[in-house]
């Protein structure tokens, strides 16, 4: 689907893929929100998907995941002496992920996903019309 | 018969509108890409000038330019509402052009059949 006569659908599908990956990253971040670790270990690092234009300037390259950035491994220390992973001072390490920011990213990713799917819908109509060319006599 | 001004103009318009569809798909795919400037396809003015001046519309090629509208914090200036509406408009124009070309072909077919 990378080239050919139905390129608009291929471009939209690159967008769908990137937003799908972003949704995956956000749900991974949220599901690991409360991962406790020992103070000696690293906290779960949140993932940021970096979108990058393919062949920028050509106008028909689409988008790809250019890389993943990781959040802080330091996290935050919480005093929970009863926790099985607590150190001698009673501290455990939690990831420093803000649920509010994750939720707004979730909405952005979802909106982008839907926008790209509706491009597929509209492009499909246009290509269908083109395929009808010469059918009516 | 098929290289008359009307048919050529319609074909150039179809080419330009198809490219505009691809560029809009690219803009929407990159709606959150940092430092991405929206692409704009221009061909209507050149096509109009060619038809008015009586030069061949086939010489007209669609041009892709980058939008200079103000960007958001991440250096991106794609406006999803604008792209969505322009895409709908482009698809309808594309279908209109297809209808025009189709009428032309029907006329030709009718001539070939001798009006039968």
pLDDT at A3: 64
Whole-model pTM: value is: 0.85
- Cross-chain residue pair A8–B105, CB shorter than 8 Å: no
Mean pLDDT confidence for A23-28: 95
Report whether pLDDT(A2) > 60. no
pLDDT at A137: 55
- Cross-chain residue pair A133–B105, CB shorter than 8 Å: yes
CA gap A48, A65 in Å, rounded: 10
Mutate to test the interface with A, among B10, B17, B25 (most CBs of A within 10 A): B25
List the one residue out of B27, B21, B41 whose CA is nearest residue B76: B27
Q: Where are the beta strands (DSSP E) in chain B?
A: 39-42, 63-66
pLDDT at B116: 66
Confidence of residue A57 (pLDDT cuts 50, 70, 90): confident
């Amino acid at each position: 689907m990378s080239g050919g006569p139905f390129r608009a659908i291929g471009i939209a599908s690159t967008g769908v893929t990137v937003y799908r990956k972003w949704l995956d990253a956000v749900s991974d971040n949220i599901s690991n929100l409360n991962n406790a670790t020992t103070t000696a270990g690293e906290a779960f690092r949140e993932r940021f998907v970096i979108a990058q234009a393919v062949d920028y300037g050509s106008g028909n390259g689409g988008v790809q995941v250019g890389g993943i950035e990781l959040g802080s491994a330091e996290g935050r220390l919480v005093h929970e002496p009863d926790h099985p992973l607590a150190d001698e001072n009673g501290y455990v390490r939690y990831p420093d992920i803000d649920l509010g920011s994750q939720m707004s990213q979730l909405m952005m990713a979802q909106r982008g996903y839907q926008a790209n799917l509706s491009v597929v819908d509209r492009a499909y109509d246009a290509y269908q019309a083109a395929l009808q060319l010469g059918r009516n006599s | 018969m098929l290289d008359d001004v009307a048919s050529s103009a319609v074909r150039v318009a179809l080419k330009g509108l198809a490219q505009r569809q691809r560029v809009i798909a690219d803009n929407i795919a990159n709606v959150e890409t940092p430092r991405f400037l929206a692409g704009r396809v221009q061909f209507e003015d050149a096509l109009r000038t060619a038809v008015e001046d009586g030069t061949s519309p086939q010489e007209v090629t669609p041009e892709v330019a980058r939008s200079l509208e103000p960007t958001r914090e991440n250096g991106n200036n794609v406006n999803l509402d604008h792209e969505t509406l322009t895409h709908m408009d482009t698809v309808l124009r594309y279908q209109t052009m297809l209808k025009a070309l189709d009428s032309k072909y029907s006329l030709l077919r009718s001539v070939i059949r001798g009006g039968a």
